[in-house]
Structure 1
Amino acid sequence: MKPRLTSLTARVLLLATLWSAVALVVIAVVISTLYRQGTERGFQELLRAQLYNVINSVSVGEDKQLAGRPELGDLRFSQPATGWYWMVEPLGDFKAEPLTSASLGVTQLAMPPIAEVPFDDNYERFYVEEDGQGNTVQVAETEVVLDQDGRAARFRVSGNRALVEADIQAFSNRLYLALGGFGIGSLVVNALAILIGLKPLDQARAALERIRRGEAERLPTDFPREIQPLASEVNALIDSNRRIVERARMQVGNLAHSLKTPIAVLLNEARVLDRGHGELVKSQAEAMQGQVQSYLNRARIAAQRDTVLARSEAEPVLERLLRVMRRLNPGLAFDLSVVPPGLSLAMEQQDVEETVGNLLDNAARFAKSRVSVAVSPSAEGPSAEEAQRRAWVEVLVDDDGPGLEPEEITEALKRGRRLDESKPGTGLGLSIVTEITSEYEGRFTLTRSPSGGLRARLILPGVAISG
């Protein structure tokens, strides 16, 4: 599977950065090319002007030789090996000594064949050569008839292209520096614009986080119009969930009321029957009562498990349970540890009380002197996927009783099974814990406690603690 960006901000920033980079590179290339073309055109015009200055300064003297001394107003034509030269060479039958600038000295300047670089419509041609001093020069050349007798000469003027290249390089450096600064500035401005533009999404996320923590019940209604429909749909979903929960609670209450009286009648009638039949009716009524309670719990939990409204702070709920257990068991010590303080479970309070209460009741029946409850965050969920998807809480209930062997633990988790018939109880407590934990997608296990007794370990859905 190909990796992909999951951050909307990162996606927009990446696209904006790529677009800005491509646009700036294209702009830099276009401007640099246009400047080069303009500079080379200007350089060529300079050489043409110098060429015609030489033409205007040279003629055929009375001795039938080339005469004239061009003054081009540029000292580089008089300094050796500068790459700035002018030359006048006789053509055809015109036998005369050529004229050259002082800068040329003994340097020879090559000339490409006309077939390779032909003359244009103005009978001019421009080409690039290297002089004997290692300079790359551009040459402007033409041929002119000097008198009525048809004497003609070839005129050439050259200029050092290092001047052009240095000018273009200096311009390009300034251009790249300016565009680089502009690009960085644009990137910062784009990032600020994107972050400011996406700020309402962060506000929506924070509002949903407050709802998840139980600090609010609805999203605010002051979002921009592009996000407000989403907020309205989320609020509608929350309202729908709340109605489902309330309707389920009402139906569960009605069903509990409707079954409570018939079951109580059966239990009362069982007491007045003869021993054999009475025990049979009583056991079946108690089993029916347990089954009804179990399925009522399932229906209620299923109705509210997937909502965002179930929140129970662990410490006050468990402290109330322990106060009851201390009164019922004055000979036992009950300890509670909740780390960090303020840890909450994503469960209804009555489900927390019933789950941990059954474990405390079971531990109190077998403990010698002490029962301890420890609550802490857990990085371990029912599965690796669940551990990453949501927060989980570990609840440990330890006693210092005789404990159970592995095969006895398997037997104890079966519905209605009691390993010690001398102790009071129906044998339904641990199976109820298993069912409620399972409905919340959690996990329940029994192991040997470090104190020698039994350890009940619960992995239950928690509420993420905000930083």
Structure 2
Amino acid sequence: MGPSSLTARVLMLATLWSAFALVVISIVILQLYRQSADRAFTDLLRAQLYNVINSITIGDDNKLSGSPQLGDLRFSQPETGWYWIIEPLGTFAATPLSSSSLGTSNIAVPSILAAPFNNRYERFYPATDAFGNRVLVAETEVVLDGEGRAARFRVSGNLSVVEDDIGAFSRNLYISLAVFGFGSLVVNGLAILYGLRPLDAARRSLEKVRRGEAERLEGDFPREIMPLANDVNALIESNRRIVERARMQVGNLAHSLKTPIAVLLNESRMLEKVQSDLVRSQAEAMQAQVQSYLNRARIAAQRESLLARTEVEPVLERLVRVMRRLNPEREFHLSVSHGLALAMEQQDVEEAIGNLLENAARFCKTGVWVTATAGTLPQGHEAEAGRRSWLAMTVEDDGPGLEPDQIKEALKRGRRLDESKPGAGLGLSIVREIVTEYQGQLHLGRGTRGGLRVELLLPGLAKEAA
């Protein structure tokens, strides 16, 4: 499947959209979980803060007393980042209290401007303890008795707990989304391939028509494709009727002209030799030209037909076999790649190659060489690259050949460069007309053996895509 494949485009679009959607979903979920984890961590510190507040009183000796029980061993283990601190305020000169995990160190208190209190007279701010731990501090100030003695209460928690929790969650999230995304892509790919199978079936059916293996699109197509298949079948049938009608009209015209031309040829025998030769030559030229124009009309009527197909190898073998019988003193060499087929009527192939073989046999010294291989796309036909292939055919002899100016003259209708040889001078012009009508190319030049080399580039039939 290439960039021009509908299946590849749909699969690529589905893959890109799924990847984009999964990335966005992972970012949103992770952000929501981070907000939830931060809120839960803040609520935990708030609960521990008020637990400490409820555990502290002022004793009879005017000192702070109490032993907060927070149910977390980290408050008793050193350098954990989990601390509680109680500091007297104002004129209350009691000794501060702190958890054993803090030891003799302390956490700096920011200014009110740097970390203001909220409407519940609480504030939360990040800090770094003496051991390098990043902590979040929950702080409030509470009046402890009726005399107005107050203290600052602080509880801190290590932020690495939140980061580790978010990291573990993100890893699990990425793994889950990756598995889900891969499964979704597989399911989407199978669904797309299954949904587009009718189009692939229609393509294969059309290829069979193009190769001449079928005369219409056959298959059980879904409702969305059936109108297209019916229209294609109607077009094929219409094309077939046009070709048949054109052939019938050509046959009728040829038959209607056959008798008058035969009468002219017959009557020319009764004239004197000079007049007889003149009338006969003109009648024969008229007969050849009429046939040529009839062939052009027939080719124009059917050159776009999907049903035109000619196997190259058997046609060339038959033509060479006939030429060997007619010219036993000449050698004919044939080289054809196996499996080549032309998108042309067999009659047109035989007429074009037959004319070239006759000319080559007429002017060669010892032999004629015929080859047929797969060709390259001619200029100006890029739009047909995926619809058909092109075949290169050459006919070469070891005769005297033609000069560039002689080549131009030889392609003109009725021009004969060697009057000593029989012929009407129409062979090369007929070949050029047939090749042109099929949108091919004709090139004449000097071959490696010294004689004339005629190269044809003709429309072939593309092999079925895998």
Same fold (TM over 0.5): yes
For the pair 1:60 / 2:44, whether they are aligned, the reply is no
Structure 1 residue 102 and structure 2 residue 100: aligned? yes
Aligned to 2:419: 421
Distance 2:92 2:383 in 1: 101
Secondary structure, aligned partner of 1:262? helix
Q: Identity, % of aligned pairs?
A: 67
What is the one-letter code of the residue matched to 1:179? L
Q: Deviations over 1:208-259 (max 9, x none)?
A: 2222111111111311222222211111111111111011001101111111
Residue identity in the other structure for 2:235: L
Report the counterpart of residue 78 of structure 1 in structure 2: 76
2-structure distance, mates of 1:309, 1:151: 106
Post-superposition offset of 1:202: 1.9
**1:170 has 2:171 as partner:** no
Separation (CA, whole Å) in 2 of partners of 1:58 and 1:404: 119
Q: What is the DSSP-based 3-state SS (H/G/I as helix, E as strand, rest coil) of the residue aligned with 2:199?
A: helix
State the 4+ residue runs in structure 1 displaced beyond 6 angstroms: none
After TM superposition, give the deviation of residue 450 of structure 1 in Å.
3.0
- Counterpart in 2 of 1:261? 259
Look up the match of 1:126. Answer: 124
Unpaired segments of 5 or more residues in structure 1?
A: none
Q: How far is 1:423 from its partner?
A: 2.2
User: C-alpha separation between the residues in 1 aligned to 2:123 and 2:447?
Assistant: 102
Residue in structure 2 matched with residue 92 of structure 1 by the alignment: 90
Q: Could you say what the CA RMSD is over the residues aligned between the two structures, in angstroms?
A: 2.2
Give the letter for the 2:354 counterpart: G
Aligned with 1:150: secondary structure?
A: coil
- Per-residue deviation, 1:5: 5.0
Q: Deviation at 1:115?
A: 4.1
Query: Normalising by structure 2, what TM-score?
Result: 0.93
| SS in structure 1 of the partner of residue 453 of structure 2 | strand
Amino acid paired to 1:381: P
Q: Which moved more, 1:302-311 or 1:95-104?
A: 95-104
Shift of 1:303: 0.3
Amino acid at match of 2:356: L
Q: Which amino acid aligns with 1:437?
A: V
Q: Residues 7-65 of structure 1: CA distance to partner in whole angstroms, max 9, x if unpaired?
A: 32232223222322222222212211221222222222222222222222211111111
Tell me, yes or no, if structure 1 residue 354 matches structure 2 residue 356.
Answer: no
| Correspondences of 1:278-427 after superposition (within 5 Å) | 278-339=276-337, 341-379=338-376, 381=378, 383=380, 385=382, 388=385, 390-427=388-425
Counterparts in 2 of 1:407 and 1:118: CA distance versus 1, 3 Å:
closer
Stretch moving more, 325-334 or 260-269:
325-334
- Asked if residue 439 in structure 1 is aligned to residue 418 in structure 2, the reply is no
Q: What letter matches 2:310 in structure 1?
A: S
Greater Cα offset, 235-244 or 42-51 = 42-51
Given that residues 382 and 441 in structure 1 are in contact (C-alpha distance below 8 angstroms), is that contact kept between their aligned partners in structure 2? no
1:351 Cα deviation after fit: 0.8
Q: Residue type matched to 1:344 in 2?
A: A
2-structure distance, mates of 1:116, 1:400: 102
Q: Provide closer, same or farther for how the CA distance between residues 355 and 123 of structure 1 changes in structure 2, counting only shifts above 3 A.
A: same
1:462 equivalent in structure 2 = 460
TM-score, with length taken from structure 1: 0.92
Corresponding residue SS for 2:443: strand
Letter in 2 for 1:373: V
Question: Of 25, 28, 31, which aligns to 2:23?
Answer: 25
Structure 2 CA distance for partners of 1:180 and 1:322, relative to 1, 3 Å: same
How many residue pairs were aligned?
Answer: 463
Q: CA deviation at 1:270?
A: 1.5
Of 144, 147, 150, the residue aligned with 2:145 is: 147
- For 2:400, give the aligned amino acid: P
Please, which of 239, 242, 246 is the counterpart of residue 241 of structure 1?
A: 239
